[in-house]
Structure 1
Amino acid sequence: MTRLTRRRFLIGSGLGAGAVALGGCDLLEPNEQTQAVLRSAETLTMKLQRLLQGRGALAREYLEADISPTFRVNGTSAPDSDEYARLLEGKFADWRLRIDGLVERPQAFSLAELKALPARTQITRHDCVEGWSAIGKWTGVPLGALFTAVGIKPSARYVVFHCADELEKTLDGSGRYYESVDLIDAFHPQTILAYAMNGQDLSVGHGAPLRLRVERQLGYKQAKYLMRIEVVDSFASFWGGGGGYWEDRGYEWYAGI
């Protein structure tokens, strides 16, 4: 992350005050001590937000008239893989969302099965770390309902979303996009696995066939092209250990807004 990007990120993600307290942390080198300070500020931000707003506080929802005429594609515009191309050609008939890890009953859901479950529709604002926002209408299945179906083990702490898009070609898989939330956000009523946007099936650019919507966080948390959901007790075994593709590269994990 460049110094300018880091500064914009800290301000846009609610860590602006921490940046001022650090005397302009965009000028600090990304050493271990600096990263520890940033992680501490991030934890404080998360605790304060949840304390002041409440764990179940809802992000603002809008009216149909507020939907943006243009909604930019964030991140990857299309996964570059033979597997995804095959699934897309078959209109995702063979696609399955696997849920495993620290669950009692691992399952794999087809897109048709997800669409048959009780759905939630919400019109919310997407805030990108790059500085743009757009309002869209999302329809999908609440993530908490799926976890109720599969059962969460007592040792579970986090939910990791594995995606089809690969931002960097690496031998160890660290270039593949992934994201994560804790169980509080996983069971939040506005956290859904969306299969429709503005009344239509998701386009490829917006994450077909399924994407995460966790509405109280910044855009890079809204993982697209979901393939697998893994429930874990830590991020220690995941590449950089940050809990996400961008987090492994210096972004904050709790990107609350």
Structure 2
Amino acid sequence: MKSQLSRRRLLAGLLAGGGGVLLTGCDRLVQDDAVNAWLSHIEKLTMGSQRLLLGRQRLAREYGEADLSPVFRANGTQMPDSEDYARMLDRGFADWRLQVDGLVRHPLSLSLSDLKRFPPRTQITRHDCVEGWSAIGKWRGVPLGQVLDVAGLKPGARYVVFHCADELERTLDGSGRYYESIDLLDAYHPQTLLAYGMNGGDLPVAHGAPLRLRVERQLGYKHAKYLMRIEVVAAFGGMGSGKGGYWEDRGYEWYAGI
């Protein structure tokens, strides 16, 4: 997820190189307001065309048990550097709670046991990282849409923001803490899971225990790990740098559809 070649930089490289992917000057270009506006416009066109061609509810490909990768890399944070997280881990996440709030009628505080009482879904899918590697894993969890239905969305709800326990940078304002967001269309996609299980067992710590997001039609950095809070919002402009996610605030595109 820390690749320096986000698709935004690739687009900037194409712009700089007149058709060849030249990285000289890319960072300078992505900091230019006019170029950023143009790139954002292209990203919106990409999202619209992908959804039009693929269909709003079309499923990502699912695989069989024989296709599971013998090794599934754990990228990003391997374990949050947090005393609170270490304490919850020592207690087997017995006192962990997922908060669901924001533009909802019924704010929720859900334990792992609560989540496991929802009708579960199991799916075997391919994880595609922006760094260029892929792996196939088996995920079990509750479809996010079921949780949102219980919470009840208020008028004006447009996005779902995922606040996480891992802090990739130590900053005074908390902007180094990982977060991600998706819109309601992806939130209600049948393969969008709050996953608590992987490959037949509990979700490992390196892969985001006790709970992570699986949004199967997008690249890996959208699949937020170590979930602590789900916030339903009308807009995410007031969070971080206003781009909708930790890596998006650092130049990645918000819609990472594949």
TM-score range, shorter chain: over 0.9
Match of 1:10 among 7, 11, 14: 7
User: What SS does structure 1 have at the residue aligned with 2:240?
Assistant: coil
Structure 1 residue 25: Cα displacement: 7.3
- C-alpha distance in structure 1 between counterparts of 2:129 and 2:161, whole Å: 21
- C-alpha distance in structure 1 between counterparts of 2:257 and 2:13, whole Å: 16
Q: TM-score, normalised by structure 1?
A: 0.93
Considering only aligned residues, what root-mean-square deviation do their CA atoms show, in Å?
A: 1.9
Q: TM-score, normalised by structure 2?
A: 0.93
- C-alpha distance in structure 2 between counterparts of 1:168 and 1:86, whole Å: 21
Letter in 1 for 2:239: F
- C-alpha distance in structure 2 between counterparts of 1:208 and 1:17, whole Å: 35
User: What SS does structure 2 have at the residue aligned with 1:103?
Assistant: coil
- C-alpha distance in structure 2 between counterparts of 1:82 and 1:210, whole Å: 18
Query: Retained in 2: the 8 A contact 1:10–1:19?
Result: no
Number of aligned residue pairs: give it.
Answer: 251
**What percentage of residue pairs aligned between the two structures are identical?**
65
1:87-98 aligned at under 5 Å gives the runs 87-98=88-99
Residue matched to 2:126: 125
Residue matched to 2:72: 71
User: What SS does structure 1 have at the residue aligned with 2:47?
Assistant: helix
1:163-187 alpha-carbon deviations (Å, 9 max, x no partner): 0000000010100000000000000
Does 215-224 or 232-241 show the bigger shift?
Answer: 232-241
Residue matched to 1:232: 233
Residue matched to 2:255: 254
Q: Which runs of 5+ in 2 are unaligned?
A: none
1:2-41 aligned at under 5 Å gives the runs 5-6=4-5, 9-10=6-7, 20=14, 23=18, 24=21, 26=23, 27-28=25-26, 29=28, 30-41=31-42
- C-alpha distance in structure 1 between counterparts of 2:22 and 2:101, whole Å: 39
- C-alpha distance in structure 1 between counterparts of 2:126 and 2:158, whole Å: 27
Distance change >3 Å, CA 200–CA 231, structure 1 → 2: same
Structure 1 residue 20: Cα displacement: 3.9
Letter in 2 for 1:37: W
Residue matched to 2:219: 218
- C-alpha distance in structure 2 between counterparts of 1:33 and 1:17, whole Å: 14
Query: Retained in 2: the 8 A contact 1:161–1:223?
Result: yes
- 2:148 corresponds to 1:151: no
Query: Retained in 2: the 8 A contact 1:18–1:41?
Result: no
- 2:104 corresponds to 1:103: yes
- C-alpha distance in structure 2 between counterparts of 1:119 and 1:40, whole Å: 38
Structure 1 residue 5: Cα displacement: 2.4
1:76-131 alpha-carbon deviations (Å, 9 max, x no partner): 00000011001000000000000000001001100011012100000000000111
- C-alpha distance in structure 2 between counterparts of 1:19 and 1:39, whole Å: 15
